[in-house]
Structure 1
Amino acid sequence: MIIKSFFDTNLMVRHLYETIAYGVIIGTSIFLRLFQLSERAMHHDESLHSFYSWQLAQGNGLTHNPMMHGPLQMELTAGVFFLFGDSDFTARLIYVIAGSALTLIPLIFREWLGREGAIITAIMLSVSPSLLYFSRFARNDILMAVFTFVIIMLVWDYLKKGSNRRLYWIAGLMALSFCTKESAFLVTGMIGLYCIAIYITQIGFQSLPLINLRTDSYPVIYKTFSGSIVDSIRAGISITTIPRSASMAIFLIALTLPQWAAVTGIIQHTFLFNWTNLILVGEVGNIGMPVGGGKVIAFLATSILFGLSAYLGYKWCWRIWWRSTLLFYAIWLTAYTTFFTNIGGGISSGLWQSLGYWIVQQGEARGDQPFFYYLIITPTYEYLPLITSVLAATYYIRRKNKFGIYLAYWCLSTFILYTIASEKMPWLLVNIALPMIVLSGQFLGSLVNKINWSKALRPRQLFLFFVGPVTMISFGIIVLTLPDYKTDTTLLIPIAITILLGYLCHLILRRSNSTTIQSSLALLCIGSGLFLLILTIRTSIEASFKNSDIPVEMMVYTQTSPDLKLTMKSIDALADQMKPDKSPQITIDQTSGFTWPWTWYLRNYEKVDYPVFSDSNKPSASETNVVLVHSRNKDASDKAYSRDFHPPIRVPHRWWFPEHKYRDIDFLKFTSGIVSMKSWKELTQYWLFRQGVAEEIGSEDAYLYVREDHPDINFVTDKIRHGP
C-alpha cells in the first residue's frame, strides 16, 4: 500500500536525511501557518463560514447553501469549535492543518516525484505565497488542493499499476471534493478527458498496422481509426478487457454521473428548451433550483443518470462500482444532510443546486476580471513555479516523458479552465499554483540528480550556478537606479548585460562535453531556481504577515480593513469596563452587506441591532453605545447622534486593490510598456516592494459613532494610504 510505505521504519532509517528534511519542512510549514494566525481581520467570506460553523457547533444545525460552496468546511470547523472553542484562531485552524498536510503529500508519492523531487516539491508547497496565504484563510480552496493533489497522483498510480484499491481511495476523496467545492466538477472532467485521450491514442496505435499513410486517403484513415474505436466498444467495457485509461474514465463517469444532472440547466435559455417556459435553474429566489414543472424534469434527469450510472457500473465491474458508490454516497449524504438532520433539503440542494447555482453565477462573472487576470497575478506571486513549469513542460514533451506530460497536462488544463471560467478570484490561484509546483518540484529534483557534484566547485561550474542570480540582481538594480529619460535607450543597458552574461554561459557550455553539459545546464537552472526560491519566501512573508489585510497585495481581495479589527477590540474593552452590571448596546447599519463580518465578531453580544438605514428608515437616538453606519447614511446619522456622541470617525469597512492598474491594459499599452524604462521601473518597484498602489486603494466606508467613555482607537488605514 502507498500509505504503508510512509510508516516504513526501515525506509526512514535508510534515508535519515529525508526524515530530517521532512521534519524541518513540516515544522516550518506549521509555524508559518500558525504564527499570528488571528491577527488579520476576518474577511467577509471567512466571517460567513465561521458564523455558520459556530451556529452548527451551538446545536442550531446547518442547511447547505451553495453560495458558500459545499458544507464540509463548516462541519469540520464546527468540530474544531466544539473541541477548542470559537475564535478567529480556531476558525482558521482546519485550513492550517490542510495546508500543512499538503506539504507531506509529496513524501507519500516520492516513487513518482523522485526522492529529491518530492523534497523540493514539499519545500515549494510550504513557502508558496498563494498556498501559504490561503492556508491561513477560512476558505475551502486549500482543502480542495489537498484532495486534488492526492486524486491526481492516485489516478496516475492506478494507470501505471492497476491496483483496484486505488479506486476506493479515489472514490472517497472524490466524495470529499464534491462536499467541499464545485471545482470538483472541473477536476473530474479534466482527469476524464485525459484518460479518454490516452485511450483514443492507444486505439490509434493499434490501428497503425491497418493504415498505409502513403497511399490511404484521409477518409480511409478516419474510417479505419473510427472502426477500431467501434470494435473496441463492441468488445465490451469490462474492467478485464479494456485498458486502464478507459477503465478509469468509465469509473469516474459511473461514480459521479448523477452529480452532473444540473448541467441540463445550460439548455434552459436555448431554442431547444426555451419554448417550454420551464425553469431548471432559477435565477432569482432559491437560485439554482428548478421551479414548477422544472422540478419534474430535474427529477427525471437525475433518475436517468442514476440508472445510467448503475448500468455502466454493472457492465464495467459491479463489485468495485457498488462498493465505491456506497463509499462515495455515505460520505456525500453525511455531509450534505448535516449528519442526517436535513435529509430532503440536503439531498436536493446537493444533487441539483450545488451545480445549478454556479451555472447561474457564471453569467454574473463575479469579480469582473479581465481574461488575462491570471497572467497578471500568477507571475506576481508564483513566478518560480511558473517559469520552471514552462521549462519542465517543454523538456518533458520533447523527451516524451509520460509522467511529466501528465503533470504538464494538469498545469495547462487547469490554467485554461480557470481562465475560461467567468469568475476569477485570487483564491483560485491556489488551483493554478498547485500543479505548477508539483511539475516544477519533480523537474528540479531530476536536475539535481544530473549534477556532477564532484566538479560543482570548479570556477566554470560556479559561474553557471551564480550567473542567473547575478543577472537578475543586476537587471533589478539598473532598472531601479537609472533615471527616467524621455528616451528609453537606458533600457538597453540591462538588456546588454543580460546578453553578455548569456553569451559567456554559451561559451562555457560549448566547451563542455556531452557528459558534463547536462550537469552544467542543471547547475544553471538550480542556481536561478534557488535565488527565485529566496525571493518567493520573501514574497510569502510580505503577503501573509506584513500586508495580510492590506490591499497593496493583489491577493487581498475586498478585504475587511484592519480598522474594523481595532474597533472590535475597543468594543471588547468597553464591555470589560461595563461589567458586571451592563453590556454595551451596538447598532450596525446593514446597508451594502455591512452585517459581515460583524455578525461573527459580535456573536456573543446580546444587545446588537442590525437595521437597514435609508431615507425611509432614518437613524434615531437611543441607548446604544456604539453605532456604525454606511457612509451614504452619514447626514441622517449626524442629526441623530450629534448630541450624545463624539464626532464620527470615517473607517474603511472593506477595501480593495486599485484594479484599474491592470484592467486598463490593452495591446498598445502593453507593447509600449515593454520598451519603456519608466514602466519597467514601476513594475519592478511594485513587484519587489509593493510601491505605487497604497495611495490608490479603494474602499467602501463606514462612520463610527462612540460615546465619551469609549476606549481610544489607534486607527491605521490612513497611515497605510498616506504614510505616517
Structure 2
Amino acid sequence: MTDEESIISPPYGRPPAFAPATTARGRWVDGKWVTDHSEIPAYGPELDGESGAGSPESSPGNERGWRRDLPYRWEFGAYASLFLVALVMRVWDLGGRAVHHDESLHGYFSWQLFNGSGYLHDPLMHGPFLFHITAGSFFLFGDNEVTLRLAQALFGTALILTPLLLRKRLGNVSALVIAGMLVFSPSLLYFSRFARNDIFVAVWTITLVAMVWRYLDNRRPRYVYLTAALVALGFATKETQFIVVALVAIPLLVMARSDVLGWLWGRRKISEWGPSGGMLVVIATLSLPMIGAASGLIQGALGLTLANNDSSTGLPLGTADGAGETVAIAITIFLLVVSILIGVLWNWRVWLTGFAIAAGIFVVLFSTIFTNWNGLASGVWQSLGYWVAQQGVARGNQPDFYYVMLTSVYEFLPAMIGLVGAVYYALKGDAFTRFLAYWPLATFVAYSAAGEKMPWLEVQVALPFIFLGGKALGDLVTTLNWRPTLAGGGWYVFAGVPIAVMVLWRLIFLNDTQPGLAGLDVPTGAVVLFGVLALLAAGLFWLTRRVGSRQAMALVGVSVAGLMAILTIRTGWVACYQDPDVPNELLVYTQTSPALASLAGEIAAVASLTGEGADLRVTIDGSSGFTWPWTWYLRDYSQVSYSDMGYSRPDGPSDSSVAVVHTRNENIAKSAFENDFTDGRRFPHRQWFPETYKNTSWKQFVDTLVRPTRWQNALNFFLYRDMSQSIGSEDAFVYFDRDIPFRALE
C-alpha cells in the first residue's frame, strides 16, 4: 500500500444519537464523533495533507468563525432549494427551442424504437443508452419536443446532488458550493436542455470518481460493483468513456506504483495489492476488451482492414473486413481472456460479480434488449473503431485553443478559481485534492488533443473544473473568520471590489477616441481614476491592519468570486432562454432555425385545414442533409418524400400540398411548381456561429489575451454578444398548393 492510500476520510455514517436533553454538537474527526469542541482540530485549508487541518480561525469552537459542520437542516434545505431551482431551470420552456439536427436523429430513432421498429447500434450517434431512455420517455409521456429532452433535464438536475457522494472528502461547504456551480453552469445548463448524450456522461463520470474514492476509503465490494455498472453505462452512452477511464486510471496507477512494480518484479501477488491497485484492476480489466479496435491505428503497416476509414467501400466505418475480421475477433478474445485472468487473480469473487454486472448492462443495451445480437459486435469493436477512423477527419475543424475559448466565455468562474486552487493543492494538498488538481488539466489536454472538438464536449471540460474550483472556493470561505472580519470593516470590501473593477475597466479603455470621464479630458480622467484606485488600496491596507492580510485577501477573493458568479448566472440565462436557437453563442452549433420550427407548425395547420391529417403529402428536398430535422417534425405523416432535387429532378408538377426546396434548387422548383403552387417563401433552414476565430493562430490568440488594445472586441462579445460578422445561414424555399384555403386560417 502506498503512502497516498494512508490518507483516508473518516468512516461514512451518521453520528451516534444523543440523549434528548443533550445539546452538544460535533462532527467526525479521524474516524470518531467528537462532541467536545476543545478536541476538534482546526478545519481550514488542507495545509498538512490531512483533511481538516488548517487555521484555528475556522475551528467550530470559535464562535466568530464559519462552521464547517453546517447544521443538518440548513444543509438539507440548501440542497433542496438548489435542486428545485435546477429542476425549474432545466424544464422551463424545454420544448421551445427548435430541434437541432443531432437531436432530430436521436429523437427519430428513439421514436422508431418506441414504436416497435427496433434500434440498430451506430457509433455515429454514439451508444444505445440515449435511445432506450428516450424511448422510455416517449412511452411514459408521449413523443414531443419536451419528452425528447426530458431525460437530459432530469439527469442534469440529478447532477446537482453528486457532490454529496464526495461530501466527506470535499467538506460540507465545498460540496454545497460545487452544487451551486453545477446549478448555474452555462454549459451544463444548456446541454441539460439538449437531446444529446453528454449530460449522461457527466453523471456517470462524477459518480465513477466518487465510487473510486469511496472504495479507497473502506474497500467495500459494493463500490466495485457500482464502478463496474458505471463503466458499462459509460461505454453504452458515449465513446468519450475511453477518455474517462484513462483519466481515472492514471492517478490510480501512480498511487499503486509500488504494487505494480512489485508484481512486475515477482515480489508481490496481485491479490496483495492495496485499494488503489485493486480499483485499477477493476477499471482496466473491464475496459481492456473494448480497446481492441485501437489496432486500426497501425492497420496500414499490417496490410489489414481493422477499422475501415473509407466510406466509399460500402463497409461501415470502423469495422474490420476480410482477414482483418478474423484478427479483430482474435484480439478481442485475447484481451477478454487477459482481463479475466487478472481479475480472478486479484479477487475472483468480487471481480466476477462486477464483471457479470457490467456484462449484463452491456448485453441488454447493445443488443437492444436481446433483439439485435449484432449490436454486441459493433459495441465491442466499432465503438472505438469508428472514432479511430474519424480521428484524422477532425470533425468540427476547430483550433487547438477551442476549449480555452469556450471555457473563458462560459466557465470562467470555476476555471479561474480552479487554476489557483490547482497550484495550491499540488503543493500542499493530500491525495484527493491533488487528484482534483490533476483531473481538469488532464481532461483539458485530452479533449484538446482529440480530433473532434465540439461545444457539447465543453460539458466534460467544465465538470472537473467545477469540482476543483468549488473545492477551492469552499476552502477559502471556511478560512475566513467572518464575524470579526466583517465587524472590523470587511463589509466595505463587497462595495470596493465592484468599484475597483469598474475603475480598472475605465482605465484600460481610456483613450482619445472615447469621451473622458464625466466630460473630463483623458489626462484628467486618468488622474481621477488613479485617485479612486489609491483610495481603495488605502482602504484595503487599513483592513489588513485590522483583521490581518490573510483574512482581508480571502475576503477580496470571495468578493471577486461573487461578481463572477453573478456574471455566470447572466451568461447562462442569455444562452439558454434569450435566444436559445439563434447561433450568437459559441455553445450553439449549426442550429435549426426558429423559422423551420414555425413552418412545421404551419404544415400541421394545413394538414388539419385540408382534412388530410397524417396523409398530407409533403415533399422535402434532401440536398445538403435537409432531410434532418424534417424526419423528426414530420414523423407522423405517412406521405412524405425525401429526395435530393439536384440529382433527381421532378418529372412534372408535384402532387404534394407542401414542398420545401433548398435554395440551390430554386430554378428546378420554379419550373415544377410555378403553376400549381404559391410563390416560394424563403426561410433560414439552419444557421451557425460565424467562426472567424478559426483563422487565428495560437500567437494571435495569446496576443488577444495579453494586449489591452485587442480586448475591446473580445469584451464586447463576452458581455453583449456583439459580433463583427453576421451569423451564417443555409436557406430553403417553401411552396404551398394554391388550392389550400389559407383564408380560413386568418
Would you say the 8 A contact 2:540–2:552 is kept in 1?
no
| Deviations, residues 403-436 of structure 1 (Å, cap 9, x unaligned) | 2111111111100000000110000000000001
Match of 2:415 in 1: 386
Letter in 2 for 1:444: L
Would you say the 8 A contact 1:587–1:608 is kept in 2?
yes
SS in structure 1 opposite 2:220?
A: coil
Would you say the 8 A contact 1:287–1:357 is kept in 2?
yes
Q: How does 1:27-176 map to 2 (within 5 A)?
A: 27-176=84-233
Letter in 1 for 2:370: F
* Cα deviation, residue 108, structure 1: 3.1
1:441 matched to 2:470? The reply is yes
Given candidates 732, 737, 742, the residue that maps to 1:702 is 732
CA distance in 1 between counterparts of 2:207 and 2:98 reads 32
* Cα deviation, residue 230, structure 1: 4.8
The range that moved more, 679-688 or 294-303, is: 679-688
Match of 2:425 in 1: 396
1:315 matched to 2:308? The reply is no
Letter in 2 for 1:415: F
* Cα deviation, residue 477, structure 1: 5.5
Match of 1:235 in 2: 267
Letter in 2 for 1:45: D
SS in structure 2 opposite 1:603?
A: coil
CA distance in 1 between counterparts of 2:532 and 2:317 reads 55
Match of 1:185 in 2: 242
1:630 matched to 2:691? The reply is no
Match of 2:545 in 1: 511
Given candidates 244, 247, 256, the residue that maps to 1:199 is 256
| Deviations, residues 51-77 of structure 1 (Å, cap 9, x unaligned) | 000000000110100000000010011
SS in structure 2 opposite 1:700?
A: strand
Give the alignment's TM-score, normalised by structure 2. Answer: 0.85
Match of 1:265 in 2: 296
| Distance change (3 Å), C-alpha of 1:497 and 1:471 | farther
Would you say the 8 A contact 1:619–1:637 is kept in 2?
no
CA distance in 1 between counterparts of 2:328 and 2:16 reads 50
SS in structure 1 opposite 2:661?
A: strand
Letter in 2 for 1:104: L
* Cα deviation, residue 463, structure 1: 3.4
Match of 1:212 in 2: none
CA distance in 2 between counterparts of 1:306 and 1:534 reads 51
Would you say the 8 A contact 1:469–1:531 is kept in 2?
yes
Letter in 1 for 2:275: R
CA distance in 2 between counterparts of 1:580 and 1:144 reads 43
| Deviations, residues 62-103 of structure 1 (Å, cap 9, x unaligned) | 010000000001001101111111000000000011000000
Q: How does 1:448-597 map to 2 (within 5 A)?
A: 448-458=477-487, 460-476=489-505, 484=513, 500=534, 503-504=537-538, 507-508=541-542, 511=545, 516-579=548-611, 583-597=615-629
Would you say the 8 A contact 1:254–1:321 is kept in 2?
no
1:656 matched to 2:683? The reply is no
CA distance in 2 between counterparts of 1:662 and 1:469 reads 34
* Cα deviation, residue 173, structure 1: 0.9
1:409 matched to 2:409? The reply is no
* Cα deviation, residue 680, structure 1: 2.1
Match of 2:712 in 1: 681
Letter in 1 for 2:641: D
Would you say the 8 A contact 1:619–1:636 is kept in 2?
no
Match of 2:310 in 1: 283
CA distance in 1 between counterparts of 2:16 and 2:657 reads 62
Letter in 2 for 1:359: V
* Structure 1 unaligned residues grouped into runs of 5+: 204-227, 715-724
RMSD: 3.1
1:298 matched to 2:328? The reply is yes
CA distance in 1 between counterparts of 2:591 and 2:510 reads 34
* Structure 2 unaligned residues grouped into runs of 5+: 1-8, 19-26, 28-68, 516-521
SS in structure 2 opposite 1:50?
A: helix
Letter in 2 for 1:397: A
CA distance in 1 between counterparts of 2:647 and 2:473 reads 63
SS in structure 2 opposite 1:406?
A: helix
Letter in 1 for 2:362: W
Would you say the 8 A contact 1:129–1:540 is kept in 2?
yes
1:246 matched to 2:277? The reply is yes
Would you say the 8 A contact 1:474–1:494 is kept in 2?
no
| Distance change (3 Å), C-alpha of 1:392 and 1:672 | closer
SS in structure 1 opposite 2:256?
A: helix
* Cα deviation, residue 646, structure 1: 2.4
Give the alignment's TM-score, normalised by structure 1. Answer: 0.88
Letter in 1 for 2:310: E
CA distance in 2 between counterparts of 1:646 and 1:494 reads 66
CA distance in 1 between counterparts of 2:578 and 2:512 reads 29
| Deviations, residues 276-333 of structure 1 (Å, cap 9, x unaligned) | 3444445323110100111100000001011101110121111111101000000010
